[in-house]
Chain A
């Protein structure tokens, strides 16, 4: 029970990161300026990357 609630918390954090990252990426997607690319690469992509890592960690930590 405890591990499932911990997993839920991590899933929630991962989902929040994914939403934030994907929204940033979506907002910069149509931009045709180097700044749009930079925001995509330096803000959006790391947030999405973090969400994926947290999600994978939540799977591994529950398996333990």
Chain B
């Protein structure tokens, strides 16, 4: 049986291509740095165009694309110290904990868990998510980062992000509670995170009292 290529393999090959491209670009730039007189000939001009225009643009674009893809990874988000309690909250051994239940049961891709729930499923949602990420970095380095438990969303969580996956899913549609308030949920008039519904998300303030899933045996 033929196996589909794994995401890891795709990532490695893209990285390798990028590294090779960078090395070729650097080598060409080094040649032009050492012998700029090459550009007096026609071939030299073509070399300069490739080495100082085409390849740097291509390399930088591929590099940027790699960075943007990598920034969607759970490990990327959790690489900041301030986010570590949020990473820990993904392992809470309690099905009522929304983030942990999604992460541990792979309702979201485990390697892109933060991004999957915290991006906007709307036009330019990716760009908005990246812009917010840059703002976080700014605050981390130049501002006053809040305590992890004091972190709040900029705007109330939009049901659109939940319904992007759950709307139309059998478990959602056949639930009498969801059916009764379906219109309010779809129109975002009632939040999925309303008290009494799915109101326990990361709960980092109470992590000390929680039990954690230790992982598959």
Contact = CB atoms under 8 A, between A and B. Distances in A.
Task: Tell me if chain B binds chain A.
Answer: yes
A41 B19 CA distance: 17
The 6 closest A-B pairs by CB, nearest first: A15-B33, A8-B36, A15-B32, A11-B36, A55-B52, A18-B29
Contact of B63 (A7, A29, A32): A29
Interface of A: 4, 7-9, 11-12, 14-16, 18-19, 21-23, 25-26, 28-30, 32-38, 40-41, 44-45, 48, 51-52, 55-56
Contacts, number: 110
Interface of B: 15, 18-19, 22-23, 25-26, 29-30, 32-33, 36-37, 39-40, 48, 51-53, 56-57, 59-60, 63-64, 66-67, 70-71, 73, 75-76, 79-80, 133, 136-137, 140
Contact of A22 (B15, B22, B39, B79): B22
Nearest to A49: B60
B25 A34 contact: no
A18 B56 contact: yes
Nearest to A54: B52
Given A33-B76, A40-B63, A18 B36 contact: no
Contacts of B73: 32
A22 B21 CA distance: 10
Contacts of B40: 4
Given A34-B137, A36-B67, A12 B79 contact: no
A32 B52 contact: no
Contacts of A40: 63-64, 67
B196 to A, nearest CB: 36
Contacts of B79: 32-34
Nearest to B62: A29
A44 B71 CA distance: 18
Contacts of A55: 48, 52-53
8 contacts: A18-B56, A22-B29, A32-B73, A34-B80, A34-B133, A37-B67, A37-B71, A40-B67
A29 B32 CA distance: 24
